[in-house]
């Protein structure tokens, strides 16, 4: 793989106009040469390349160390870009676009002819979204291309919510990072399959099941969400362990006192311990590193800080990490999906 001097191009997303911004133009020139660039979205930082180019998609896989049977999401800046990318737009999909685009919602639709088969992992469907971030939208517009963009991290590690996270993982692997500041939602987009009889949620995210159903009727949840196995995943995040810190992570379904007992046993064995907790319980635990990631009263704050907290454990030299569980309601469903993937399904029940 080619080595780069990785540039960081800072862009103020609050600028009155990003049109013609020199840093975005610089990044778009790399995109047009079929190289890959990291850029901010409202969810996490993405690693973008020309969705019509096999060469660019191969470079995304190489930079991330990502399995090539895992499909990528195509990012667009205008619904006009759907022409040729998708073969059909079902009525329910149109309703969801009207309600949630731009925003953290990805729609799986019948694949058109323009998109590289490397993007879709050979499937007959393609996942598409319009990000709600001015820097992302301007980069796509300036490049004139739809961008295939998974999260801008080494595959399996926690997704990046700041440019420094991208630099930690991909320094030397990519030519540049557009730094638009920290992201907002903090967990990736919700992915919905619009090609089946009933809307099917393939990955929970920033748009909740309840919000989807208000617009487009009843939805189902793909059974593969609860496992690490899916023979031909239609969405990122369905098949492999994701979002994991360096140390093994265990989810603890029980009281704070029970979690502390687990910590005490590991400390007695001479292991360095970590606890991922809510703001409300942060002062309760006696571990080597205790990291709160938000309030149980505002699960959006947990979603926003989750990946940053998981990455912070890598600086703590923890040998083992225990995490509280969170209610599976609203965005809590997405939080628990990411934690279950981080833990590789390891759950200790009281």
User: Quick check: helix, strand or coil at residue 342?
Assistant: helix
Looking at the fold, whether 279 and 192 belong to one and the same domain comes out as no
Neighbouring C-beta atoms of residue 113, cutoff 10 Å: 8
CATH number of the domain enclosing 338 = 3.40.50.11030
Q: Is residue 240 assigned to a domain?
A: no
Is the residue at 37 inside a domain? yes
Asked whether residue 54 falls in the same domain as residue 95, the answer is yes
pLDDT at 199: 95
Contact between 191 and 108 under an 8 Å Cβ cutoff? The reply is: yes
What is the per-residue pLDDT across 134-176, written as a single tens digit (0 to 9) for each?
A: 999 999 999 999 999 999 999 989 999 999 999 999 999 999 9
> How many structural domains is the chain composed of?
2
Residue 326 domain-assigned (yes or no): yes
Q: Which residues of 14-25 are buried (b: 16+ CB within 10 A; e: fewer)?
A: eeeebeebebbe
Ranges in the chain, pLDDT < 50: none
For the chain, percent of residues with pLDDT exceeding 90: 87
For the CA atoms of 153, 156, 157, 159, the dihedral, rounded to the nearest 10 degrees, stands at 60
Residue with tokens 């995040």: 237
User: Looking at the domain assignment, is residue 241 inside a domain?
Assistant: no
Q: Mark whether 205 and 264 lie in a shared domain.
A: no
Task: State the pLDDT at residue 276.
Answer: 98
Residue 120 lies in a domain: yes
Measured over the CA atoms of residue 102, residue 107, residue 113 and residue 117, the dihedral's sign is positive
Residue carrying structure tokens 């809590």: 332
The residue range of the domain holding 260 is 249-349
| pLDDT at residue 94 in the model | 97
Same structural domain, 321 and 184 = no
* Cα distance between residue 193 and residue 106, in whole Å: 9
Give CA–CA dist 224/226, Å, rounded: 5
Strand-pair partners of 111: 86
């Amino acid at each position: 793989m080619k080595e780069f001097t990785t540039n960081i191009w800072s862009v103020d997303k609050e600028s009155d106009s990003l049109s013609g911004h020199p840093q975005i133009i610089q990044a778009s020139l790399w995109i047009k040469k079929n190289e890959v660039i990291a850029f901010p979205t409202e969810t996490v930082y993405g690693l973008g390349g020309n969705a019509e180019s096999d060469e660019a998609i191969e470079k995304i896989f190489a930079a991330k160390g990502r399995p090539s049977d895992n499909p990528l999401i195509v990012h667009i800046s205008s619904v006009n870009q759907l022409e040729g990318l998708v073969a059909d737009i079902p009525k329910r999909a149109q309703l969801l676009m009207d309600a949630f685009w731009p925003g953290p919602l990805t729609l799986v639709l019948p694949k058109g002819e323009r998109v590289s088969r490397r993007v879709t992992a050979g499937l007959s469907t393609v996942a598409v979204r319009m990000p709600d971030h001015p820097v992302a939208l301007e980069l796509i517009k300036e490049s004139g291309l739809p961008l295939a963009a998974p999260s801008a991290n080494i595959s399996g590690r926690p997704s990046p919510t700041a440019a420094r996270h991208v630099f930690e993982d991909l320094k030397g692997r990519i030519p540049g990072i557009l730094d638009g500041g920290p992201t907002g939602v903090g967990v990736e987009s919700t992915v919905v399959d619009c090609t089946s009889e009933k809307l099917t949620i393939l990955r929970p995210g920033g748009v909740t099941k309840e919000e989807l159903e208000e617009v487009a009727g009843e939805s189902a949840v793909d059974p593969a969400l609860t496992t690490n196995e899916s023979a031909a995943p239609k969405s990122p995040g369905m098949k492999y362990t994701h979002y994991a810190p360096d140390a093994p992570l265990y989810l603890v379904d029980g009281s704070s006192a029970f979690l502390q007992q687990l910590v005490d046993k590991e400390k007695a064995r001479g292991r360095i311990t970590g606890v991922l907790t809510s703001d409300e319980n942060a002062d309760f635990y006696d571990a080597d590193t205790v990291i709160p990631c938000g309030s149980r009263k505002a699960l959006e704050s947990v979603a926003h800080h989750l990946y940053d907290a998981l990455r912070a454990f890598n600086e703590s030299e923890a040998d083992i990490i225990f995490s509280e569980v969170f209610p599976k309601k609203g965005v809590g469903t997405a939080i628990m999906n990411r934690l279950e993937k981080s833990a590789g399904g390891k759950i200790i029940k009281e």
